[in-house]
Amino acid sequence: EDQVTQSPEALRLQEGESSSLNCSYTVSGLRGLFWYRQDPGKGPEFLFTLYSAGEEKEKERLKATLTKKESFLHITAPKPEDSATYLCAVHWGYQKVTFGIGTKLQVIP
């Protein structure tokens, strides 16, 4: 069964405490893996696209990596404004998109 699984479902960090979020996928014909950030009551906002195993992308305190079966979103020295739900989405097959349930991140000052 084609699916996308994110872990953990929720994560609470102290400000400055680095960690990683995981997205594992089992789909056929991967076109790209996308990370989005979603704030409460708003639509998801694009963060990164990864297309092939070994690829890495960075933006401020965030770094995304991709292997053949999973992706990691590393958060270095997070700040309270990084609190949000982080969504992983896989584009696969003929234009299909499957999202993970997300990881709700809370960064405590």
Partner 1 sequence: EAQVTQNPRYLITVTGKKLTVTCSQNMNHEYMSWYRQDPGLGLRQIYYSMNVEVTDKGDVPEGYKVSRKEKRNFPLILESPSPNQTSLYFCASSLSGGYYEQYFGPGTRLTVT
Binding site for partner 1 (CB under 8 A): 31-32, 34, 41-46, 49, 51, 87, 89, 91, 94-102
Closest distance of CB 25 from partner 1, Å? 13
Q: CA separation (Å) from 87 to 52, 108, 109?
A: 19, 20, 23
Is residue 100 within 8 Å of 89, Cβ to Cβ? yes
Pairing of strands 10-14, 103-108: parallel
Indicate the residue among 76 and 98 with the shorter CB distance to partner 1: 98
Closest distance of CB 104 from partner 1, Å? 11
For CA atoms 37, 38, 42, 43, give the dihedral sign: positive
Is residue 59 within 8 Å of 65, Cβ to Cβ? no
Indicate the residue among 25 and 34 with the shorter CB distance to partner 1: 34
Indicate the residue among 74 and 93 with the shorter CB distance to partner 1: 93
Cα end-to-end distance, the chain, whole Å:
41
Closest distance of CB 31 from partner 1, Å? 4
Closest distance of CB 84 from partner 1, Å? 14
Indicate the residue among 13 and 33 with the shorter CB distance to partner 1: 33
